[in-house]
Amino acid sequence: MGDRLGWIGLGRMGEAMVKRLLKGGHAVTVWNRTRSKADPLVEYGADVAANRQALADCDLVFTMVSTTDDLKDVLFADGGLVAGATKPKVVVDSSSISQEGSAEIRKRLEALGVGYLCTPVSGNAKVAKAGKLLMVSSGPRALYDRAEPYLQSMARKVMWVGEGELARIWKIAHNTMFGVVIQNLCEITVLAEKAGIPRHVFLESINDSVLGSMYTRYKSPVLTNLTFDQVTFTPKLLLKDMDLGMAAAKTYGVAMPAAAATRESVARMVGRGHDHVDFAILLLETARDAGIELTAENVRLSDGLES
């Protein structure tokens, strides 16, 4: 394929995705605000850039950051990727940001002659490490066709859903459901346990039923053993995505009562100081509301993500 690839953003997700690219035989130059997160990738074959503009001569630069403002900063601020005379041909962004913010970024990049592809993902860092991400793109079809071989290196499936920011709507809808499902899964798990069913038995039965999914399976070990220090996604980030979902619902005139209730539950969890832990700690809050205190069962369950 011969494209020069760059990568900005090496949190849990970004690091795992870069490793998949490197294992797929692609040369990648990486940059991260905290250099110490980039250096370990050298042993996997990555080059580490001294600054963002050092990636400007790449053909495709992938970005994976936390917020719309973070993405604007790495692209357009002083020393940003496209702030100099040399610019990459395409930016492929996998951050979870708003449709409106993404449209603004597209307009600014295209005015500079830089192509822009939205490519949010379904899955956490462990899913990414196992190569089981779903990656959904929107933007010009020709850009998707160019990026698709690299996306295939990181995912079990890749899809193009249309032009513009449609992939942002897909991600917002996806993560809104993400919140609603964990809310309901915690509620029914507490119901079953308070009635007398051991937590691991109940979760195993759900996973083997028509309601089981990759999502319920990979959360079951955490819910069983209360290992919330094994972070896949924080309550604060989930609240951000629930807010994006509610804003989109207002824009398009769609009533989402289940999502609205979940948003308030997640906001309460954040307000109680739960941060830097996995969002599944919602289970403990739900149990306390039901008048019970949970203990770890220390049972080994498969999460279905062994690579």
Q: What is the pLDDT of residues 208-223, one digit of tens each?
A: 999 999 899 989 999 9
Cβ pair 91, 118 in contact under 8 A:
no
The per-residue pLDDT of the chain, averaged, comes to: 95
Cβ pair 65, 9 in contact under 8 A:
yes
CATH code of the domain covering residue 115: 3.40.50.720
Q: Which two tokens stand for residue 25?
A: 């035989």
Per-residue pLDDT at 1 exceeds 60: no
pTM (2 decimals)? 0.88
Residue 270 domain boundaries:
169-289
Q: How big is the chain, counted in residues?
A: 307
Q: Is residue 253 part of a domain?
A: yes
The answer to whether residues 264 and 221 belong to one domain is yes
Q: Is residue 301 part of a domain?
A: no
The answer to whether residues 156 and 173 belong to one domain is no
Cβ pair 136, 92 in contact under 8 A:
no
Domain stops at, among 105, 129, 164 = 164
Q: Is residue 98 part of a domain?
A: yes
Which residues make Cβ contacts (< 8 Å) with residue 165, sequence separation at least 6? 99, 102, 103, 106, 118, 138
The answer to whether residues 218 and 241 belong to one domain is yes
Domain stops at, among 108, 140, 164 = 164
Please name the amino acid found at residue 65.
V
Q: Is residue 306 part of a domain?
A: no
The answer to whether residues 41 and 187 belong to one domain is no
Mapping DSSP to helix (H, G, I), strand (E, B) and coil, where does residue 136 land? strand
Count of other CB atoms within 10 angstroms of residue 194: 12
Q: Is residue 300 part of a domain?
A: no
Q: Is residue 225 part of a domain?
A: yes
Q: Is residue 307 part of a domain?
A: no
The answer to whether residues 147 and 176 belong to one domain is no
Cβ pair 241, 181 in contact under 8 A:
no
The answer to whether residues 155 and 14 belong to one domain is yes
Pairing type for strands 155-162 and 121-122 reads unpaired
Q: Which two tokens stand for residue 52?
A: 């963002």
CATH code of the domain covering residue 277: 1.10.1040.10
The answer to whether residues 120 and 233 belong to one domain is no
The answer to whether residues 273 and 124 belong to one domain is no
The answer to whether residues 47 and 110 belong to one domain is yes
Cβ pair 120, 190 in contact under 8 A:
no
Instruction: Give 190's pLDDT tier (boundaries 50, 70, 90).
Output: very high
Q: Is residue 297 part of a domain?
A: no
Cβ pair 4, 59 in contact under 8 A:
yes
Count how many domains the chain has: 2
The answer to whether residues 175 and 155 belong to one domain is no
| pLDDT one-digit tens code per residue, 221-275 | 999 999 999 998 899 999 999 999 999 999 999 999 999 999 999 999 999 999 8
The answer to whether residues 13 and 158 belong to one domain is yes
Instruction: Give 98's pLDDT tier (boundaries 50, 70, 90).
Output: confident
The answer to whether residues 92 and 178 belong to one domain is no
Domain stops at, among 104, 130, 164 = 164
Residue 112's pLDDT is 98
